[in-house]
Structure 1
Amino acid sequence: MSEALTLKQVSEHNTVDKGLYIIIDNEVYKMDTFVDEHPGGSKILKRVGGKDASKQFWKYHNESVLKKYAPKLKIGSVKEEAKL
């Protein structure tokens, strides 16, 4: 499943109960089922829920981590919004 989500839609999923979405390089990942498995603990994922976590992700991970988990966690991408 791959859908285009707005930043507002992603921001509404900012807790585990709401789905816990994060953005990494304009791709959206649903993390609610992964929170308890995350080797770095759940706290950091909960802190970046509903936000762009690219900076934090790349600080601690390399591309192989994304390749490993993307098939299971990626749900879509951030769609371009019209600028007025």
Structure 2
Amino acid sequence: MSSHPSVQCACPDCTCVIDEHQGIDRNGEIFCSDACADLHPHGTPCPSESCQCESGVRVGESHVTESNLDEALDETFPASDPISP
């Protein structure tokens, strides 16, 4: 039995309850998986077979998370600097 508190996954429709220290922390919220933390990009399913939280995501709906924005900024940073004279 775990001595860590259990928490509900922060994904809005997810039914997963996870160990607080084994979940994925994104911006202070705890998720059960990367799929839930990234709001199910391309319909990526929840890893729990009993949970269907990805079904609440509409096809073609765009989700941009803080981690997606950070990654995009890191990838474009050198190109976004002005050219030195």
Fold shared, TM-score > 0.5 on shorter chain: no
The TM-score, its normalising length taken from structure 2, stands at: 0.29
